[in-house]
Structure 1
């Protein structure tokens, strides 16, 4: 069974984008991947906390998260080569749509005083980045299992040619943006 958001893309969003941007049908913008990442910060020195963070992100994403290891030593940040510096997971195809559907319909409405995601998160090449302050908004996360709350960065990579096409794609997919220009 296909993900609900993927069916919405094929039945509603794709025809609307083809009508709005009448170029080659192969150039119709689509979501390519979603990357969820967490910087370790002070968890670099605590393996138990790092593993707890990785387990939480894996639970949220529905796919095993990988711990990112430092490639070079940086004295200013007290990082040595081989130390864990973060956690990331890359979602593609069906799991990506399941995660985005869960984010849009369940997690973001649970954020206190949520007024929408910032419209300024586009990078100029059609990709959108935004951050969340804590992981407790996701229903899978059990509060008692968390050692320390942490935020996460979510990057949505699209095949759009520019930011306006990417914005329209994400808006039609149901991502709640703030009202008006900021």
Structure 2
């Protein structure tokens, strides 16, 4: 059992009951899933270019990624229908908390000039998108950096079971995901 999973079960559930005053414990808002997504531009010209992305995503997420293909042809990009253009993986339950713990403890402090995520990313939909430009900040990738010639990046999407901005901000602050404070 992960540290964040224990934190969620024993502290956050009780804390949310007092803060939100829901009529049922089943109405508790929670982090539903995290999708880790990688697009590979060079995979259009050479299909072998997707292999480092698959390996990196497998090292980061602890599970095998799923390849996704283009839906239609675009002549300007030399893209044909059903070409592999990236990979993604969906993390839930134990893997979600493992990646979130790694992200909070190891990855975010290593990022240069990181002040938190912008307020605009927390609004509009019930998901929060975070882009990581260099996967070398993950310890698994850093240990195996000799195998990765190019700099790889990914997009993390956090799905929250609520459309209320207050609840989304509450969940992200409970898991100690930093938010950038606007200076006025």
Q: TM-score, normalised by structure 2?
A: 0.91
Which residue does the alignment assign to 2:17? Answer: 18
Contact residue 124 and residue 162 of structure 1 kept, 8 A: no
Structure 1 stretches of at least 4 aligned residues deviating more than 6 Å after TM superposition: none
Task: Give per-residue Cα distances to partners, 1:91-130, cap 9 Å, x unaligned.
Answer: 1110111010001111111111221122221352331111
Task: Give per-residue Cα distances to partners, 1:118-151, cap 9 Å, x unaligned.
Answer: 2221352331111011100000012111021121
Which residue does the alignment assign to 2:75? Answer: 75
Task: Give per-residue Cα distances to partners, 1:33-92, cap 9 Å, x unaligned.
Answer: 100001112232222321111111111111111221112212233210121111111111
Q: Mean alpha-carbon deviation: is it higher for 16-25 or for 151-160? A: 16-25
Contact residue 125 and residue 162 of structure 1 kept, 8 A: no
Which structure 1 residue ranges, 5 or more long, are not aligned? Answer: none
After superposition, residues 137-148 of structure 1 pair within 5 angstroms as: 137-141=137-141, 142-148=144-150
Q: Mean alpha-carbon deviation: is it higher for 80-89 or for 115-124? A: 115-124
Contact residue 126 and residue 165 of structure 1 kept, 8 A: no
The offset of 1:163, in angstroms, is: 2.1
Which structure 2 residue ranges, 5 or more long, are not aligned? Answer: none
The alignment yields a C-alpha RMSD, in angstroms, of 1.7
Distance 2:56 2:101 in 1: 18
Which residue does the alignment assign to 2:4? Answer: 5
Contact residue 71 and residue 81 of structure 2 kept, 8 A: yes
- Count of equivalent residues: 181
